[in-house]
Every structure is written in structure tokens, then in C-alpha cells.
Amino acid sequence: MFIVTGGAGFIGSAFIWHLNQLGVEDIIVVDDLGHSGKWQNLVKRTFIDYLHKSTFLEMLRSKELPWFVEGIVHMGACSSTTETNADYLMDNNYRYTRTLCEWALENGVRFINASSAATYGDGRQGFSDDIETMFALKPLNMYGYSKHLFDLWAHREGVLDQIASLKFFNVFGPNEYHKGDMASVVSKAYEQIRTTGTLELFKSYLPEYPDGGQKRDFVYVKDCVNVMWWLQENPDVNGVFNVGAGEARTWNDLAAAVFDAMGLPRSIEYIEMPEALRGRYQYFTQAAMDKLRAAGYVAEFTSLEDAVCDYVVNYLGAEDSYL
């Protein structure tokens, strides 16, 4: 039995897709569907039951889980970097994660957690997932801080050598459609190009980066779930790990990949960045992947061009866009 929190969300539902591909259907989905459209991520998936996140938490606390649980994959969280309700993020992201982790450890259950590259803040401390770097990090938003707090707690409690906490970088791919403004630029670019023929990108305000030359570590969701399953199968591999392609690419590269996948001529317009973002904007992210590789992960990550092509041709441009 696998429990996937945030199982109707982007990465969570992709992981359930991966489990189903392996013939695994003994799955409990935990989420908060509300009025969003993320329920559609579950339509093609096979699982045993769905529980609201509050119901599941009550069952954990009262020790009423009626199943033998092999693994908890905790992808459930508020992932909005613009969320300003700090108390909500403390409860929903930090304390909820602590409770699940404590239960998993008490019951000998594999626990894989979603941390975030947002913990790295402006990147001045680099992007190493070594423990020494973690203490110097200063996230730029409350979302990143809520994720950072759990990693710090796990280290302080001495349990990081018993769990895997994953710092996902710029993930894109099918099943992100419910995320709205938080959806990847690939998804938003496809719609903008399809509608107008042109893609808008932010101008750069640093001389060392040309317009559209700001860099990100873009990673395909299918590669992310491959890492997650490998960690499930290798429970002796524990700690904080980056999950990225390990290569920074420019927004111009990303735009070119989308235009090429759509078979359209490249047309980019560079626009002013909102004032509120300029002081908090990351110009460069690149996951250090040495630690995961040293732990034994050998699978290759899909190139940006191949991943964008798969996403655009087989999902965004297809009649059925869901995994």
C-alpha cells in the first residue's frame, strides 16, 4: 500500500501514473480537491480510495490506519510562492509534514518528502544539497521557508538519515494544468504562442544577463518520478537531495524549444518585469546533482528539447493532455 499526499496535484498524480505503469494500484490518494480542476488528474489513474487531507491526519493521530503501508510519498503542500498567510503555511506545509514523518518513522514506513529549490533563496549560497549549505540558506518567500523549516527540523531531530527530502527545481510537464499562474512557463508559453504567435519574456535588469538570458534548471516531471521511485526502492539512500536536470538553460532556450515543438517561427517580445518581483527574482538556478549520483542514481535526465517536445506534441497539443 502506498499513500500519496497531494496525489491529485502535479507531481503527486504523475507519481501515481508511474506506479500504475508498474502495475501498482494499491494506492490511497490524499488531497484537498476543493473547487480546483485537479480532480481531472485522477480520472485516468487507478487507486483504492481518496481521503481529504484533514481526514487522513485525524486517522494518523488516532492510529486508525487500517492498511499495511509500504511508503508515504508526501507531495501535498501549498506550493504558491505568493501565499502570504504565514500561519497557514506553518500548519499546512511544516507541521503537517512533521506529523506524517513522525508517524512513518514510528511505524517503519518509507517517507519521501517534497522540499523545494525555493529554499535556496537568491542563490548566493549556491545550490548544493550538502548539510553545511543548508544552515546558511535564506528563502525569499514564506513557501520556501516552510519547506526549509522541515529540513532543519529533520536534521535537528537526527532523522535525515532515515528519510528522503527532495528539492525540486523548475518542474514542468503534463498534469500541471490546474496550477494557474504557478504553472510552468512551458505550459503558459504554449497557450500564448497558440493564441498570439508570440511569447512574452521578462527583460533582464542585470548586465551579465541579456534579455531572456536568465537561467533556470528545468526538469521534466517524468524524470522526477523516476528519481522518486528509485528512492522508494532504495530505502537506505536518505537525506536531502536536489532533483533537477543539473544544467542551467536560458528562457530563450526554453522558448526556442516550444516554438520548434509547435513547428512555428520564433517570435519573442521582452517585457518589463513587475517592480514587486525585481528585488526577489532569481537570475540563475542549477541543481548540484553530485550527491544523488554518488548515492547510486545513474539514469539520465531528458534534455530540455526532448522533454518540451514530448510535452507539447503528446500532451499539450493532443486531444487528451493528461497522464
Q: Is residue 253 part of a domain?
A: no
Which of 124, 146, 145 lies closest to 133, judged by CA?
124
Q: Is residue 148 part of a domain?
A: yes
CA dihedral 116, 90, 80, 46 (to 10 degrees): 80
Q: Is residue 310 part of a domain?
A: no
Question: Cα separation of 118 and 255, whole Å?
Answer: 23
Query: How many domains does one find in the chain?
Result: 1
Q: Which of 94, 120, 143, 145 is catalytic?
A: 143
For residue 44, indicate whether it is catalytic.
no
Contact 26, 68 (CB under 8 A): no
Tell me what the pLDDT averaged over the chain comes to. 95
Question: Cα separation of 6 and 12, whole Å?
Answer: 5
Q: Is residue 241 part of a domain?
A: yes
**pLDDT of 118:** 93
For residue 50, indicate whether it is catalytic.
no
pLDDT of 64 strictly over 80: no
Q: Is residue 17 part of a domain?
A: yes
Phi, psi of 243 (to 5 degrees): -130, 100
Q: Which of 179, 190, 220, 311 is catalytic?
A: 179
Structural domain for 64, as ranges: 2-172+218-246+283-302
pLDDT of 284 strictly over 80: yes
pLDDT in tens, 11-42: 999 999 999 999 999 999 999 999 889 999 99
Band (87; pLDDT cuts 50, 70, 90):
very high
Q: Is residue 233 part of a domain?
A: yes
Task: Give the residue ranges of DSSP H helices in the chain.
Answer: 10-21, 53-61, 86-89, 96-106, 131-134, 142-156, 185-196, 221-233, 251-262, 275-278, 290-294, 304-311
pLDDT of 184 strictly over 90: yes
Question: Cα separation of 211 and 83, whole Å?
Answer: 28
Q: Is residue 84 part of a domain?
A: yes
Indicate the SS3 state at residue 301. Answer: coil
Q: Identify the CATH number of the domain in which residue 41 sits.
A: 3.40.50.720
Question: Cα separation of 225 and 285, whole Å?
Answer: 21
Which of 101, 116, 117, 226 lies closest to 163, judged by CA?
101
Contact 232, 73 (CB under 8 A): yes
**For range 123-152, the mean pLDDT:** 94
Which tops the pLDDT comparison, 272 or 278? 272
**pLDDT of 65:** 82
pLDDT in tens, 311-323: 999 999 999 999 9
Q: Is residue 199 part of a domain?
A: no
pLDDT in tens, 138-180: 998 999 999 999 999 999 999 999 999 999 999 999 999 999 8
